[in-house]
Amino acid sequence: MYRLTIHELHERLKSKEVTSQEVVKLLLERIQKVDPQLKAYLTVARQEAMEQAREADNRIATGEMTSLTGIPLAIKDNMCTQGIKTTCASKILENFIPPYDATVVKQLKEKGGIILGKTNMDEFAMGSSTENSRFITTRNPWNLDAIPGGSSGGSAAAVAADACIAALGSDTGGSIRQPAACCGVVGMKPTYGRISRYGLVAFGSSLDQIGPITKDVEDCAILLNAIAGPDPLDSTSIDLPIPDYRKALVKDIKGWVLGIPREFFVEGMDPEVEERVTAAIRTLEGLGAKVKEISLPHTGYAVATYYVICTAEASSNLARYDGVKYGFRAPGTKELMAMYLETRCQGFGQEVKRRIMLGTYVLSSGYYDAYYRKAAQVRTLIKADFEKAFQECDVIVTPTAPTPAFRLGEKVQDPLQMYLSDIFTISVNLAGVPAISIPCGFSTGGLPIGLQIIGRSCEEERIIQTAYAFEQHTDHHTKRPELS
């Protein structure tokens, strides 16, 4: 039962073939069995999940059923959950229990969704491998010696290992799509502002976006329907009508133009990634789509631009963690300044401290114009590249990541190599456009490879339709790792 998708489980619940309580019980047993080796969850909300399941069964009995009623979901641990710990995988928030739900969590609960627990992540979403968590190291369910991707590695691993039906992640520079590619599941970063960020613990406020991680494209559309829309509590949310994304579940892409950016097929990319992505493009071509080479000329500046902007925003956002208002406070200090320094020194991990220092530097007097202002100007050029490219094509198709999942510990001592793991996803966040990663094959070592489909701003339907058409003519998404 835990292997089912949202839409498959919905039909079983609707026909009363199974109850939500039975499903939740099975999934809690599944977590208990596989999570000691996988380490996808930081918190499992057993009692709360069973209470929500009882409520869901009552709703189903009275006919008050939505597509998410009784569906067990996992939430990345940087989204506030009332009464359930939200740590951002950081010591500085180790025992923080929010007094309110993030808007997306509230929306899921209102629709009858069940929160199984909170998933592991890179501390404050800063990382590409989920090795920066201060508590545990999540492993890839396809190979327990490999990384699950990051920073939403816990959510992607839990979905791939059938330790939840679907999950939410957040994406600042690829943190949904890259782990989705590493774990062989579907992950979408919607248009910036399409989904409320209220209650999402901020990393880079102009880049962060919440999105679904699911077992197939149809589930992605269902989850997107549930959480998309304007929110008066988030001034950056877009006040536009939300379409029914399930209407985009159409197999036909005949006549569509697929833009293939030459800058994304670069030297140093794993040859197996290039081979599987090229084969996927041929599959889409076989469905009637036309392929056109395009250029996104400022792609080469994306990583540097991103790491100036995101670290500057992180420096500002993380200033609130000072040991005064909430969270961890270093013991034994007698003076205020010493307490600030010790709290932040002990509370934050190495990668978070590295990014705070970088961000503080690029915002400092005398360096702001040389770094931050220049990065903001280059970001405008990157956004313009996409706008120009979309005059020539309907969607853009690229690899999601330059390699399959690498081995745990392989890049921990080399931050620059780690940062390059997001080379194909970062520019999408800088431009604010939507993108999805779907499985398109496996390496000879049995690790999943992801295909990224990028769309125009607020045109999630197009990338869903392209992804769905591909999925309906392939079987990569049906394969699951075997965990003993």
Of the chain, the percentage scoring pLDDT greater than 90 comes to: 95
- List the Cα angle 291/438/74 in 5-degree steps: 155
484 has a pLDDT exceeding 70:
no
Could you confirm whether 175 is annotated as catalytic? yes
177 has a pLDDT exceeding 90:
yes
Q: Please report, for the domain that includes residue 227, its CATH number.
A: 3.90.1300.10
Q: Band of the pLDDT at 267, cuts 50, 70, 90?
A: confident
Average pLDDT of span 355-372: 95
266 has a pLDDT exceeding 80:
no
Beta strands in 95-208 (DSSP E): 114-119, 166-171, 186-189
User: Is 305 domain-assigned?
Assistant: no
Average pLDDT of span 409-427: 90
Range of the domain at 35: 6-250
DSSP 365-393: TTTTIIIIIHHHHHHHHHHHHHHHHTTT-
Of the chain, the percentage scoring pLDDT greater than 70 comes to: 100
Helix, strand and coil percent figures for the chain, each rounded to 5: 45, 15, 45
Could you confirm whether 170 is annotated as catalytic? no
Average pLDDT of span 147-170: 98
Q: Which one of the listed residues 39, 67, 76, 196 is annotated catalytic?
A: 76
- Evaluate the CA torsion angle 121, 124, 129, 134 in order and state its sign: negative
Average pLDDT of span 330-359: 96
Could you confirm whether 76 is annotated as catalytic? yes
User: Is 435 domain-assigned?
Assistant: no
Average pLDDT of span 336-346: 96
Side by side, which strands form the sheet with 72-76?
A: 41-44, 114-119, 72-76, 166-171, 209-214, 186-189, 435-442, 448-454, 395-399, 257-261, 290-294
**Cα–Cα distance for residue pair 135/154, rounded to 1 Å:** 12
Average pLDDT of span 435-463: 98
Q: State the pairing for strand pair 166-171/257-261.
A: unpaired
Average pLDDT, the chain: 97
User: Is 422 domain-assigned?
Assistant: no
What pLDDT score does 412 carry? Answer: 86
441 has a pLDDT exceeding 90:
yes
- In angstroms and rounded to an integer, the radius of gyration of the C-alpha atoms of the chain is 21
DSSP state of 161: T
Residue for token pair 């059923």: 65
Q: State the pairing for strand pair 186-189/114-119.
A: unpaired
What pLDDT score does 8 carry? Answer: 98
User: Is 201 domain-assigned?
Assistant: yes
User: Is 61 domain-assigned?
Assistant: yes
User: Is 142 domain-assigned?
Assistant: yes
Of 332, 357, 330, 331, the C-alpha closest to 344 is: 330
347 has a pLDDT exceeding 70:
yes
Element (H, E) at 234: none
pLDDT in tens, 11-39: 999 999 999 999 999 999 999 999 999 99
Q: Which one of the listed residues 151, 152, 155, 237 is annotated catalytic?
A: 151
What pLDDT score does 268 carry? Answer: 79
Q: Which one of the listed residues 20, 175, 437, 443 is annotated catalytic?
A: 175
Determine phi and psi for 84, rounding to 5 degrees.
-125, 135
User: Is 290 domain-assigned?
Assistant: no
195 has a pLDDT exceeding 90:
yes
pTM, two decimals, is 0.97
User: Is 381 domain-assigned?
Assistant: no
**Cα–Cα distance for residue pair 70/165, rounded to 1 Å:** 11
398 has a pLDDT exceeding 70:
yes
389-398: string of b/e by CB count within 10 Å (b at 16+)?
Answer: bbeebbbbbb
Task: Give the total number of structural domains in the chain.
Answer: 1
